[in-house]
Each structure stands twice: as C-alpha cells, then as structure tokens.
Amino acid sequence: AQTVTQSQPEMSVQEAETVTLSCTYDTSESDYYLFWYKQPPSRQMILVIRQEAYKQQNATENRFSVNFQKAAKSFSLKISDSQLGDAAMYFCAYSSGGTSYGKLTFGQGTILTVHP
C-alpha cells in the first residue's frame, strides 16, 4: 500500500516571503500522480497543483511550484510571494495511475500560518 508522509505539522512564513512544504511518499508503482490540496478555515478542499510521475518537468501554477524528486520519492511545494490568503492546511496526496478511479491517499497535513 502507498503511504504519504508530511513531516512538518506546522510552518509559518512572513507575507511576501517564500516557504517550502515537504512531502515524501512510498510506492512500488511507476505510474502515479501527486497532488497538493489546500484546506482553508472554510474547510473546502481546493486543488493547488498536480504532478504526473512520468513528467520530469516540475509543475507550476502561478506562485505555486513543486520540486518532484522521483528517485527520492519526494514532492515538496514551494509558495512564492506568500499572501495572507495562503494560510491554510496543506495536504499532499497520491493517486495510482491506471484504472484506479482517482482514489487518493493523503498525508497528515501541514498547517501554514502567514504573518503580515
């Protein structure tokens, strides 16, 4: 079974600064997808960014980018120019490729605080 580990229960960053959230995963599969989801205080889960394992290029979405190290099974999220609205709990998630129907395995989450 796949596992996802987020070793940072909490992180903080100053507004306009950069922060990196860590995620490692364990799998024996070669075809899979990795995601970062954001859960603000409103509790609605929002997809931040997605990475396909077969792609060597790191995914980017505006101020959000990932550092995908497949051999090391590491998938960190970098938030640049942090904004107050980035404050939330962030979850790293894994999904198998193939006919998996998109089932997700989540990490424990990292609470991000943004200081003005």
Partner 1 sequence: SQTIHQWPATLVQPVGSPLSLECTVEGTSNPNLYWYRQAAGRGLQLLFYSVGIGQISSEVPQNLSASRPQDRQFILSSKKLLLSDSGFYLCAWSVGTVSTQPQHFGDGTRLSIL
> Which residues bind to partner 1, rule: CB under 8 A?
4, 6, 32-33, 35, 42-47, 50, 52, 91, 95-109
Integer CA distances (angstroms), 55 to 30, 31, 50, 67, 68, in order: 12, 10, 11, 12, 9
Q: Between 6 and 76, whose beta carbon lies closer to partner 1? A: 6
Amino acid at 78: K
Minimal distance, residue 45 CB to partner 1, in Å: 4
Q: In the complex, what is the shortest distance from the CB of residue 38 to partner 1, in angstroms, rounded to a whole number? A: 11
Which residue, 14 or 40, has its beta carbon nearer to partner 1? 40
Handedness of CA 14, 50, 33, 91 (dihedral sign): positive
Distance CA 82, CA 94 (A): 25
Phi, psi torsion values for 99, nearest 5 degrees: -90, 75
Q: How far is the CB of 102 from partner 1 (least distance, A)?
A: 4
CB closer to partner 1, 108 vs 113: 108
